[in-house]
Amino acid sequence: MNGATFEAKIAEVMEKQLQTVRDDCLYKEISALPIERLLVLDKNGRLVGILSRLDLVKKIYDALEMKENELEVMVKALHNGIIAVDAKGIITIYNPAAERIVGVLAHDALGKKLA
């Protein structure tokens, strides 16, 4: 767009090297592509949509959030006491079974250094 003005034709300033993917392509096949936008084509080569890098990031975030929620439900439902710490020894996970076994409530243990 060097030297472009408001009088320039769209064809002179638009991106011409476009990436395309098929609509039946798996997410994992495109997640590493270094692009900002992908044109999505159906089996017949017809344009059916545009997928942006932001769409991909949102998809990853939503998937991680769903898995985090599933993990939280499982950990809370376990009969075994689960206490997890980070690299600094700070308690990050403390399930209800751990409360019963240790006799300390989660809100008193979370965020504290494991002694």
CATH value at residue 35:
3.10.580.10
Domain-located, residue 41: yes
- How buried is 91 (Cβ within 10 angstroms: 0-12 exposed, 13-18 middle, 19+ buried)? buried
Same domain, 52 and 91: no
- Angstrom CA distances, 38 to 4, 72, 93, stand at 24, 35, 39
More confident residue, 21 or 102: 102
The pTM for the full model equals 0.56
Asked whether residue 27 is assigned to any structural domain, the reply reads: yes
> Pairing between strand 20-22 and 37-41?
parallel
The CA angle 86-94-68, to the nearest 5 degrees, is: 75
Q: Cα(33)–Cα(7) distance, rounded to whole angstroms? A: 33
Structurally, the chain folds into a number of domains equal to: 2
31 assigned to some structural domain:
yes
| Average pLDDT for the chain | 86
- Beta-carbon neighbour count of residue 94 at 10 Å? 24
- Residue count of the chain: 115
Q: Are residues 92 and 63 in the same domain?
A: no
Rg of the chain over all Cα atoms, to the nearest angstrom: 25
Identify the band that residue 14 occupies on the pLDDT scale cut at 50, 70 and 90.
low
Locate 31 and state its tokens: 């997640």
Q: Is residue 3 part of a domain?
A: no
pLDDT for 27-66, tens place per residue? 788 777 777 888 888 899 899 988 888 888 888 889 899 9
Report the DSSP beta bridge partners of residue 40.
Answer: 21, 49
Domain boundaries, position 109: 78-115
